[in-house]
Amino acid sequence: MDSLTQIVLGAAVGEAVLGRKVGNKAMLYGAIAGTIPDLDVLARLFVDTVTATEWHRGFSHSIFFSVLFAPIFGWLVWKINPKSIATFKEWSWLMFWGLFTHPVLDAFTTWGTQLFWPFKSRLAFQNVFVIDPMYTLPFLVFLVLAMRQKRTSLKRRRYNYSGLFISSAYLLITLILKAVAYKQFADSLTAQGVVYTEMDIRPAPFSTILWTANIDTKEAYLMGYYSFFDSQSISFSSYPKNHELLGKLVTNDKVIRLIAIAEGWYTISRKKEKLLFNDLRFGLLSLKPDETKFAFTYELESNKNGLTVIEMPKKPSDADGLLLGLWNRILGN
């Protein structure tokens, strides 16, 4: 999830663990713990694009990391706050839950997380987008209300637990919404006589009312949207796989790793002599019918040093009209 959401979750967890003893300091250090796992993005400064992408939400988002570093960070906080009545063990417990709940929440997103690192499989339920105001805003309101109460106040605990309960209940509800959306996609494909081997669905940006699906057919991938306010059948757009454009690169180590990262959901395209690897899991940059730009695209550049993989930068103009398009599509077809 986005940084703000992880800060809110970490702060609420910190409050639940140690708020009665240390007050708002529990929220502060819980928020810090909830932010630490995402520092893995700094890997991009030191390693190549493919390696950095593999590392993202890997080791730092694992149970192993939480268990290993909780006492280390707990000791640091204990030393920083020598006059606190909280013990080293209690600070370590707070840091563990702040570190651990971060990847658990990320497991509900499209990217997922390697919660069981060093095993390479990612846990991804794909039932919330990485930014979901319906999850974050109520949670944030209750956290602010709790923050304004005395640390020993019963009302403070009630506000904090209300935020934790409502946010957790929302995650469970979105799993049900996903199941309903999946059935709608499956029924629509059957009605249209589409033969497919696999279907992958996820919420569209910022909402769990609108869902999008990737459909694997023999020569192409189909992509479509479904809103709970739809009154017409789902229409699908086709995107040719073009895997043959890879040529000999299909055996290249970096390409093999990119395919693994994309979990097999990818197309290959050419643009101005550039060979592009498109990761389909995060969809297109807009809902325009003629949109061809994907949220994550990598240029495959062959040179004397081998193959260089470059993530194509995204410009603000690439998503012009996205919010309006999402809103219009949420309202139904």
**pLDDT tens per residue across span 9-42:** 999 999 999 999 999 999 999 999 999 999 999 9
pLDDT score recorded for residue 304: 85
Cis? peptide before 289, omega within 30° of 0: no
Q: Report CA dihedral (166, 71, 7, 124) to the nearest 10 degrees.
A: -70
Place of tokens 């658990």: 104
pLDDT at residue number 303: 87
Beta-bridged to residue 308, according to DSSP, are 301
How many angstroms separate the CA atoms of 61 and 64, rounded? Answer: 8
What is the pTM for the complete model shown?
0.93
Q: Do 255 and 276 form a contact (C-beta atoms < 8 A)?
A: no
Q: Could you give the CA distance from residue 181 to residue 84 in angstroms, rounded to a whole number? A: 50
How far, in Å, CA of 65 to CA of 116, rounded? 10
Quote the pLDDT of residue 191.
96
For residue 89, the model assigns a pLDDT of: 97
Structure token pair of residue 15: 């409050």
| CA distances for 45 relative to 52, 195, 220, angstroms | 9, 44, 36
The pLDDT of residue 2 is 94
pLDDT, tens only, 113-129 = 999 999 988 899 999 99
C-alpha to C-alpha distance for 29 and 11, rounded to whole angstroms:
7
Contact 240, 219 (CB under 8 A): yes
Q: Quote the pLDDT of residue 288.
A: 82
CB count in 10 Å sphere of residue 243: 12
* Gap between the Cα atoms of 201 and 215, Å rounded: 9
183: its two tokens: 């059935």
- Give the C-alpha distances (Å, rounded to integers) separating 17 from 34, 37, 103, 160, 186: 14, 19, 18, 11, 43
At 107 the pLDDT is 97
Give the relative orientation of helices 133-147 and 3-22 as an angle to the nearest 10 degrees: 30
Domain boundaries, the chain: 3-174, 194-333
- Tens digits of pLDDT across the chain (333 residues): 999 999 999 999 999 999 999 999 999 999 999 999 999 999 989 999 999 999 999 999 999 999 999 999 999 999 999 989 999 999 999 999 999 999 999 999 988 999 999 998 889 999 999 999 999 999 999 999 999 999 999 999 999 999 999 999 999 999 999 999 999 999 999 999 999 999 999 999 998 999 999 999 988 999 999 999 999 999 999 999 999 999 999 999 999 999 999 999 999 999 888 999 999 999 998 888 778 889 999 999 998 888 999 999 887 777 777 888 899 999 998
